[in-house]
A and B are shown apart, each in its own frame.
Chain A
């Protein structure tokens, strides 16, 4: 009698996911066993340690990959390559930064208990799983773990009804998108006989489908599922409401790790599994990029609420990141990775400032709250100005090189017109960033109170600024890292 045959497991490959999951479980069990609430410093410290341990595991993985090349494990469902390692590290570090912001926020808003950290650890584990997935089913698994954690986190602020409303909206639309994604995976399985990305690529490379309709339908549905998760136009409608409604540290967390996880998996599916179908999906991406960069920027112009504005800004950024996918080659993949590496710290730090200015109750998010901030508090206001200039793409910040990388990839791949349209979108977006910067340095608002800057959040903001300026002056190391990571990318 043959029992269930377990595939061999290479534990190093799944170490970051395991660390974060186990940490989440330990924290959950501990909070149930301990009488009363766990101390805030303890839970934050524990989460921080877990996320840094996951990042350290990624470094260990990197040296393994450098020696052994890209490998797969667990019946080829998980891949260990440079791209997965670097994007996992980005997720883990974003989690660390977001945890610090959440620490000060939870003290200000009197949120007790370990649940927040349990959920954020689990969500980050899901995002890392997506970075490493080499199988549509595993991607789905990662996507769901990530999303379910986030649904609850979005609703975490029980004081504001809008938080629950946003969570419900996110949950309904997100559930819908997940269903579309898994249906797409099923259709692709029907067309090719596999859900494994490597097998898909091999099958499509060595066979010609006489009736590709099923594959196209499946691929199209996968694309819609991803487009929803990364919020590109026209699948973006949820994002301004959810960004606005969610507690601000959660928004920052979401904006960074969801983008990293979802884009990493998106890239794998499009470039490595469906690379042979490039001529079919490129026109679709073309439309998505044009729509996201232009619509994202234009609608951002009319927002009065900072969080909604940042939501449109992130839609605009998503359009830019798609340029790297459009290129669909080593340069494009490296550019995408570079963009994600630089975007994640900027966005977490930007939302950290927004969290602080939001004040108790997390409600002061109109642009008026920022009038004269840089006059009253030059360091805080100046930091935000630098972060915004980086998002705008000004030279001497990482934002410039991120845009440079994806635009170069797109131009090299024959998408010169597309690059131009995207840049015009960036020019439109520049005006809302600048309006914000102008408000920061405006003369009025002298009577306003000083925004307190707690140590942990201050550290996150400082790190974000240092990263964006340091690597903006000296982008070589990060760019080489992204390039090396994608050299090890399995086809």
Chain B
């Protein structure tokens, strides 16, 4: 077992960096450098943690780096962190996305504050993924709202204030259900086990409850996570928020914060309340499929690139939800992998859209045409990310979607059939938008567009590398996810999950 100090540092370092960047108010350049250095160190530390991770600690159920310190007994508040294969992947995604957002979506307006909020958001997101305690997770989950609100509201487009408020209120309302559910579960556990109030994951997962209690609690948890993910029909905050947010904000929201929702659903709703799964599964599967088809359909007709990615994300999150609840190990592994892949792909999309916006000042599809001529490298990068998102074999999107679909076919074939339409629609809307934006003859301002600069190319390198490598050789990653998913499923098994 490795020391939990690693994880504590992963959470604390960006927070410290945030304070430093925030205090360099009058020196924008220095603040940016501080931010990039923090992000770089964080990425290196994450790489070390990924290498060190040992999923075979005796009695720890694939968790490593675990420790628990009670901070305030009356509240059951504890610093309780641990990593397993599932959260490991998301921790890596968090560090990676921070670097991409900082370097690729630099925003020079009041830069120190911008960097500070971005680092703070990373710290809180990191905290949520390493939490091994429902309350600690909830606190970080709530905390992410504050920096993301400020990022969207202050650096976003014209309607950003309204969008940020909508985002905040939606998520805050969803969290209300999660909070009350968590309290109820903790008291249920306390009345059974005695002792102090505790929200420890291991303790809560041993709570005995009736099926109807489990269903109620699952419903409460699922509402919060469905808002965050987003899952249809609680997604309505997302298109406007993704569209109005600054590029870095869109990246963080769609690549990372959305994963908080699906991760929460997997870890806390399914993991803690397996009894509820048999009754709630048809509902969630149906919502996921509706999300896939609805999101893809709207992506076909939306006039704005950012909104297109928002709707496409809705569809992708539908796939993840499908995998999480389908009740097969393969689908669940695919869902976890898709959380990572979608994070990388969507970050790539928003980076590229950010590059286009820098050049043209707009992300409206109708205003862009024939960019392939003046900007071939940009077009090529867009093609790679797009093909990965469509699910072309050999690229990362294919592996995860394929795993989810075959898993779902095995257990719930008809939902699998319906979901497959989403794959077809994805090809339709992405290829169509590619045609409209990059093909044809560039005239006027479109002809003046400069191709990707050196730094922009370098930022896209990790995205392209991950998309290709995980498409060709996903085994090392799958080997880390599988035992942890197996562990989760063996707990859920009585509720009818095929191993």
Partners in one complex: yes
Interface SS of chain B = helix
- Partner of A479 from the list B72, B153, B184 (CB cut-off 8 Å) is B72
Does B180 sit within 8 A of A, measured CB to CB? yes
Interface-lining segment among A27-35, A167-175, A228-236, A420-428 = A420-428
- Partner of B74 from the list A334, A389, A474 (CB cut-off 8 Å) is A334
CB-CB nearest in chain A for B146: A394
CB-CB nearest in chain A for B183: A411
Does B25 sit within 8 A of A, measured CB to CB? yes
CB-CB nearest in chain A for B176: A423
Does B73 sit within 8 A of A, measured CB to CB? yes
Interface-lining segment among B161-169, B256-264, B265-273, B407-415 = B161-169
- Partner of B142 from the list A395, A405, A479 (CB cut-off 8 Å) is A395
Distance of B19 from chain A, by nearest CB (Å): 13
Contact A438 to B165, CB < 8 A, known contacts A430-B172, A476-B72, A479-B72: yes
> Are A424 and B149 interface neighbours, CB within 8 A?
no
Distance of A361 from chain B, by nearest CB (Å): 30
Does A441 sit within 8 A of B, measured CB to CB? yes
Q: Could you mark each residue 420-463 of chain A with 1 if its beta carbon is under 8 Å from any beta carbon of chain B, else 0?
A: 10011011101100110010010000000000000000000000
State in angstroms the CA–CA spacing of A177 and B70 once bound together.
Answer: 46
Does A129 sit within 8 A of B, measured CB to CB? no
- Partner of B75 from the list A404, A435, A441 (CB cut-off 8 Å) is A404
Contact A424 to B71, CB < 8 A, known contacts A394-B143, A430-B169: no
Does A401 sit within 8 A of B, measured CB to CB? yes
Which residues of A lie under 8 Å from residue B169 when comparing CB positions? 427-428, 430-431, 434
> Are B172 and A427 interface neighbours, CB within 8 A?
yes
Contact A419 to B168, CB < 8 A, known contacts A441-B154, A476-B71: no
Which residues of A lie under 8 Å from residue B73 when comparing CB positions? 476, 480
> Are A420 and B176 interface neighbours, CB within 8 A?
yes
Does B139 sit within 8 A of A, measured CB to CB? yes
Which residues of B lie under 8 Å from residue A396 when comparing CB positions? 139, 143
Contact A424 to B150, CB < 8 A, known contacts A430-B168, A483-B74: no
State in angstroms the CA–CA spacing of A476 and B78 once bound together.
Answer: 11
State in angstroms the CA–CA spacing of A474 and B77 once bound together.
Answer: 10
Q: Could you mark each residue 174-198 of chain B with 1 if its beta carbon is under 8 Å from any beta carbon of chain A, else 0?
A: 0011011001100100000000010
CB-CB nearest in chain A for B149: A434
State in angstroms the CA–CA spacing of A482 and B150 once bound together.
Answer: 34
Which residues of B lie under 8 Å from residue A411 when comparing CB positions? 180, 183-184, 187
> Are B173 and A427 interface neighbours, CB within 8 A?
yes
Does A412 sit within 8 A of B, measured CB to CB? yes
- Partner of A405 from the list B75, B139, B146, B149 (CB cut-off 8 Å) is B75
**Total count of chain B residues near the partner, CB < 8 A:** 32
Q: Could you mark each residue 54-91 of chain B with 1 if its beta carbon is under 8 Å from any beta carbon of chain A, else 0?
A: 00000000000000000111110100000000000000
> Are A435 and B179 interface neighbours, CB within 8 A?
no
Distance of A437 from chain B, by nearest CB (Å): 8
State in angstroms the CA–CA spacing of A424 and B161 once bound together.
Answer: 21
> Are B139 and A416 interface neighbours, CB within 8 A?
no
CB-CB nearest in chain B for A477: B72
State in angstroms the CA–CA spacing of A363 and B259 once bound together.
Answer: 47
Distance of B280 from chain A, by nearest CB (Å): 19
Which residues of A lie under 8 Å from residue B146 when comparing CB positions? 389, 394
> Are A434 and B165 interface neighbours, CB within 8 A?
yes
State in angstroms the CA–CA spacing of A407 and B184 once bound together.
Answer: 10
Distance of A225 from chain B, by nearest CB (Å): 31
Q: List 23 A-B contacts (CB under 8 A).
A: A334-B74, A389-B146, A394-B143, A396-B139, A401-B75, A408-B75, A408-B187, A408-B197, A412-B183, A416-B183, A416-B184, A419-B180, A420-B176, A423-B179, A424-B176, A431-B165, A434-B168, A438-B164, A441-B154, A475-B75, A476-B71, A476-B77, A480-B74
A residues neighboring B (CB under 8 Å): 334, 378, 389, 394-396, 400-401, 404-405, 407-408, 411-412, 416, 419-420, 423-424, 426-428, 430-431, 434-435, 438, 441, 474-476, 479-480, 482-483
Give the 8 A-B residue pairs with the shortest CB-CB distance, closest first.
A423-B176, A476-B72, A479-B74, A427-B173, A411-B183, A395-B139, A420-B180, A427-B172
